[in-house]
Structure 1
Amino acid sequence: MTTFDNPAACPTDAASIGGASRRSFLRGALALLALPLTKVAAAAGTFELFKTFQTPEAFLAEAFGATVPPASTLDLDDARQSQLSGVYGRRYPQARLRYWRAPNGRTAWIFDDIGKEGYVPTTSGFVVQNGAIDFGRVLIYRESRGEQIAERSFLQQLVGARASGNGIDKKVDNVSGATYSVKMMQRMARTALMLDSLAR
């Protein structure tokens, strides 16, 4: 719904849709088109470009409680990139990646992946402890379908997963209409396990 600057100018019936009101409406519509898409969404309130299930701050609080350890940095040199690309499916797009490690060795990772080439990145967080996935969360999902992968019932399937070749050792049920997203989450879980091993 378009919000008019002057409520009195908002047409209320067919008879009042005259030249002045029509021009006012067109000016408002053209102004929306000139804005970046994120501002159009905020102004028009008609759609969102992504869905946030959990903020990074909330994810880290869930992982570590009230005392979140300071962020560390993993340098992804050529040797590490070579190992990582085997499970991530391609070279990681950054040379450095932030992560968090508790004194007991528990690590948390926040990173992006795509369901397939041309898809929009999904941001997820994974907690690894003793070489296994403790839990995973979808933080921001940016596709138009397949958001069922963010449900706790789906994510529960990843709990306890360990590395098995370039994949994980747990069977994960497919979600109708979200096959690529399901495969992406398995790949992200395996990537988190690899990152944890590289950071030791």
Structure 2
Amino acid sequence: MLKQLKGGLGPLFAILALVLTFGAKGATEYMTQEAFLAQAFSGGQPQQGTVWLKGELKSQLKTLMGEGYPKLRVRYWEQQGRTAWVLESVGKDQPITFGYVVENGTIIQARVLMFREHRGWEIHRDAFTRQYQGVSLDGNALSEIIDGISGATLSVHAMNRTAKMALFLADHVNR
């Protein structure tokens, strides 16, 4: 049967090599953590804090997010009632790194810092992330409906989960 293919297996291997070379998208860093923090706190150096995710807090987060958060602790930065959070959530297969700035119980800035998935990268665009500005928690849900992006459903869900987490944890540290 292999002898019946015109040109042998060479063209098949060439196509496979192209797919493997250009089909796999690596990690894309849209903004460094340092740049995100500099943008979030333009006036001075924020204080860094840590929230340990254990006991009742871990349980509450699992209920809020619909899944457990795999890390034991989360670092945050705070200055004059404003907090910044760098959080990760898996889209389809890979973690996506998000940055949120929360003030007075609402998100004032949301960014995709690092994207590692093959699909759904469109969530990094300002037209999408602007939807999170002014959003707060309403029970265990976001106060506003976030419009999805066709082909990026799992990435949008990951961002919604971490947005809820940032709001919840900001409230937790400001009590």
Tell me what 2:135 maps to: 161
SS of 1:193's partner is helix
Identify the structure with bigger relative contact order (alpha carbons < 8 Å, sequence gap 6+): 2
Of 61, 64, 73, the match for 2:41: 64
Q: Quick one: distance in 2 between partners of 1:153 and 1:90?
A: 27
TM-score (norm 2): 0.82
Tell me what 1:108 maps to: 84
Of 105, 108, 111, the match for 1:137: 111
SS of 1:171's partner is coil
State the Cα distance separating 1:145 from its structure 2 match.
1.4
Which protein has the larger Cα radius of gyration, Structure 1 or Structure 2?
A: 1
Tell me if the contact between 1:167 and 1:187 (Cα under 8 Å) persists in the aligned partners.
no
State the Cα distance separating 1:47 from its structure 2 match.
6.9
Structure 2: segments with no counterpart, 5+ residues: 1-20
1:51 maps onto 2:28 in alignment: yes
Tell me if the contact between 1:84 and 1:191 (Cα under 8 Å) persists in the aligned partners.
yes
- Deviation sequence 1:94-128 (CA, Å, 0-9, x none): 222110010x2100000110124xx1000010000
Q: Quick one: distance in 2 between partners of 1:128 and 1:50?
A: 26
Q: Quick one: distance in 2 between partners of 1:47 and 1:83?
A: 36
Q: Quick one: distance in 1 between partners of 2:72 and 2:172?
A: 14
Tell me if the contact between 1:60 and 1:68 (Cα under 8 Å) persists in the aligned partners.
no
- Deviation sequence 1:68-94 (CA, Å, 0-9, x none): 313111122211101111122222222
TM-score (norm 1): 0.72
1:121 maps onto 2:95 in alignment: yes
Q: Quick one: distance in 1 between partners of 2:24 and 2:128?
A: 26
Tell me if the contact between 1:75 and 1:96 (Cα under 8 Å) persists in the aligned partners.
yes
Q: Quick one: distance in 2 between partners of 1:114 and 1:133?
A: 21
Structure 1: segments with no counterpart, 5+ residues: 1-43
- How many correspondences in the alignment? 154
SS of 1:81's partner is helix
Tell me what 1:73 maps to: 50
Tell me if the contact between 2:24 and 2:118 (Cα under 8 Å) persists in the aligned partners.
no
Q: Quick one: distance in 2 between partners of 1:76 and 1:187?
A: 16
Runs of 4+, deviation exceeding 6 Å:
none
Of 145-154 and 164-173, deviating more is 164-173
State the Cα distance separating 1:66 from its structure 2 match.
4.8
Tell me if the contact between 2:91 and 2:117 (Cα under 8 Å) persists in the aligned partners.
no
1:175 maps onto 2:152 in alignment: no
